[in-house]
A and B are shown apart, each in its own frame.
Chain A
Amino acid sequence: MTPFEFLEQATATIPSNRRANSVRRELYSHWMLKTADLVEGGMDAAAAEQAAMESLGDPAVIAAAYHVPRSPLRLGAALLAGAPLFITAVLTAYRPADIVLWLTVLATVAVIAEPGASLKDRFLSLKSLVESSRLIVAVAALSGIADAVNNFGGSTKILLVCFVPWLAVLYLCWQRTSDSRLTPFAMGWMTSFSSILAGLLVFGLRLPGSAWSDGFSAISGILVPFSVFVLAYLWEFVQWMRSREGRLFSPRVTSNPSHDEDMAEV
C-alpha cells in the first residue's frame, strides 16, 4: 500500500472533501516527520518510509474513528419530503405549505419513534432530519414558484421562471460547498431567501382570497420548516464561530508564556 492509498483509506469516512483533505495533509505531515526521524536515526530512506507508514497503524481504524453515524432517514426524509411535494405541487397546484407541514410532522414523529434507538441515536437522527430540512424548504420554495406559475399572469410567470434555475444553481452550489467556511452564511442566506420567497408566494396566492384557516395552514406550513431551518443554521453558525476556521473572533489563548515558544525541537 502506498502512503496515498493509506491516506485515502484513512479518510474515506469523512463526508466533507475539504475536511478530508485537511486530515490527509496532517497525516501526511505526520508520516513525513516520522520518516525524517527514522532516517536521522540511521535507517535507509525506503525502509524508513515503510516503517513510518506501518507505525501509523491500520487505516481502517483511523477511518472508523472519523466515522460519524448518520441516520439512514436523512436521505429517506429528503426524498420523502422532496419528490412527492414537488410533483404534487406541480400537478395539482395544491397548497405546498400543507404538504410541507404534514411531511415535517410525520418525519419528526418517525425519527423520534424510531424503534430500538438510544437517546443519542434519536438525537443524531433528529439532527439529520434538521439537516435534510434544507431540502424541504428549498423544495417548498420551488413548489411555491410552480404554484405561482400556474396562477400568475404572463410577466410574473417569466420573472418567476427566471428564479427557478437561479435557485437551483444556488442550491447545488450550497450543497457542494457544504462544510466550507461559507456554509453558515450560505445556509442563512438560502434559508432566509427560500423561506421568504415561499412565504410570499404562499401568502400572495392564498391569503387574500382564502379563509383564515387557509392562512393559518400557510403560516404553519412555512413556520415549521423555517423554524427548524433557522435552528439548524444557528447551531452550525455557533459551531463554526467556535472553531478557528471562521477567524472572526478566535478563542482566547492562555497567557502561558510557553505557548509562544516556537517549534524549535522539530
Chain B
Amino acid sequence: MVKSVPTLLVLKALEREVSHGYRIASWINQASEGALELKEGTLYPLLHTLEQKGLIVGEWRREEGQREVRVYRLTDRGYRQLRQEERVWQGFAQGVQRILQHSGGAVHDPV
C-alpha cells in the first residue's frame, strides 16, 4: 500500500541536515527509538536512486581528521517530494488508525 516509506525516512533525515549514509541510518534508528532500521542493502541503492531522480545530490567530502565520506543534500525537488510523501503517509496512517479503533461490525448502519 505504501511502498515509499524508506524514501520518506531518508528524505526526512536529509531535511534535518546534510548527511552521509551511515549517519542517515543511525539517525533513523535513534529517532524511532530503535523501532526502525534501514539496512544498508536498502539504504545505499535507495540513496543512489534518489540521486538519479534529482531528489538529492551527493558529493564526496573530506572531514577534518576524518576519512572521506559521501554526503547527501536535499534538492528543492526532494523537498517538495518529502512534503508529498508526508501527506501520503499521514493519510495512510490515519486510515489505518481509524480501522484499528473501529469497534467491528458493519461500517454503515443498515437502512
Contact = CB atoms under 8 A, between A and B. Distances in A.
Contact of B44 (A58, A62, A239, A253): A62
A244 B57 contact: yes
Nearest to B69: A29
B42 A252 contact: no
Nearest to A19: B48
Given A23-B44, A62-B44, A65-B42, A29 B22 contact: yes
B45 A263 contact: no
Interface residues on A, range: 35 or more
DSSP majority for the B interface? Answer: mixed
Contacts of B39: 57, 61
A34 interface: yes
Contacts of B41: 57-58, 61-62, 64-65
B40 A25 contact: no
A161 interface: no
Given A23-B44, A244-B51, A250-B57, A256 B22 contact: no
Interface in A48-68: 55-58, 61-62, 64-66
Nearest to A263: B63
A143 B67 CA distance: 52
B40 A57 contact: yes
Given A27-B44, A30-B40, A258-B16, A242 B70 contact: no
Interface residues of B, number: 39
Interface in B77-99: 77-79
Interface in A62-103: 62, 64-66
Given A26-B70, A32-B67, A263 B44 contact: no
Contacts of B21: 26, 29-30
Contacts of A254: 74-76, 78-79
Contact of A266 (B52, B57, B63): B63
B16 A29 contact: no
A261 B14 CA distance: 12
A111 B78 CA distance: 35
A259 interface: yes
Contact of B23 (A58, A65, A266): A266
A154 interface: no
Contacts of A242: 52-54
A172 interface: no
A30 B66 CA distance: 12
Given A26-B21, A26-B70, 19 more contacts: A22-B70, A25-B70, A29-B70, A30-B22, A33-B23, A34-B22, A61-B39, A61-B41, A243-B54, A251-B57, A251-B77, A253-B73, A253-B74, A258-B15, A259-B17, A262-B18, A263-B18, A265-B23, A266-B63
Interface of B: 15-23, 39-42, 44-45, 48, 51-54, 57-61, 63, 66-71, 73-79
12 contacts: A23-B44, A25-B70, A30-B21, A64-B41, A239-B52, A244-B57, A244-B59, A253-B57, A256-B79, A258-B16, A259-B74, A265-B23
Interface of A: 22-23, 25-27, 29-30, 32-34, 55-58, 61-62, 64-66, 239, 242-244, 250-254, 256, 258-263, 265-266
